[in-house]
Copies of this chain bind each other. A is one copy, B any other.
Amino acid sequence: MTITQSMTPEKKPSRIQLRNRLRILDAALDVFSQHGFRGATLDQISRESGLSKPNILYYFSAKEEIHITLLNQLMETWLDPLIEMDSNGEPLEEILNYVQRKLDMARELPRESRLFANEILQGAPRMAPHLKRDLLPLVDEKCAVIQNWMDQGKLAPTNPRHLMYSIWSTTQHYADFEAQLNIISTDNTYAEAQSYLRHLFTNLLNPT
């Protein structure tokens, strides 16, 4: 990849720059989240964004740069709900709020969830370094907090890491497997999911 204008952030971008970059990223999120990096084409992004292919490559130097930009943006959003978990809060409530935030994200940002799932399914070729640098220490930190709560008898003891995996998987499932749920689901999915998951994790963690 060569050095291009879009990679030199010194110059402040014009209004059109900003707007068109946003249009491209929004279209690319649609396409990449559905087909993954390899399965996505500039043609699809062009069609969805309404910009010609060469024009897209005027704003981003390569297909991969669009993908990387999306993943970088995603990383922050993605870690946020866990960062907000407060070691000084009421333990059970902190966990349940975390579950709630993750479920809200699945409902409100399903494309982002699927973009992430696609990247991990493909072996996390572009995300792995990020995960090692940002996610791993965060998980370590929060698991230690949870372990502490359990040691103090404020939560029923269980495996904090696998607790976290189960929170991720149960909530993200509603976004990632939406196509399946559309076929087999009967109820107002997210409303039921909310009370079900609350019930599930309360039963697991309630110390009494």
Residues of A within 8 A of B (CB): 33-40, 114, 117-118, 120-124, 128, 131-132, 135-136, 139, 158-159, 161-163, 165-166, 168-170, 172-174, 176-177, 179-181, 183-187, 192-193, 195-197, 199-200, 203-204
Contact = CB atoms under 8 A, between A and B. Distances in A.
B193 A162 contact: yes
Given A162-B193, A165-B170, A196-B158, A179 B120 contact: yes
A204 B120 CA distance: 30
A111 to B, nearest CB: 11
Contacts of A33: 121
B173 A169 contact: yes
Contact of A181 (B122, B165, B184): B165
15 contacts: A34-B123, A35-B36, A36-B39, A38-B39, A118-B121, A120-B177, A120-B180, A122-B179, A136-B183, A159-B187, A159-B195, A163-B196, A165-B174, A166-B173, A168-B173
A162 B196 contact: yes
A190 to B, nearest CB: 11
A120 B203 CA distance: 30
List the number of copies, as a whole number: 2
B170 A185 contact: no
Nearest to A181: B165
Contacts of A163: 196
Given A162-B192, A196-B158, A35 B34 contact: no
A128 B39 contact: no
A168 B37 CA distance: 26
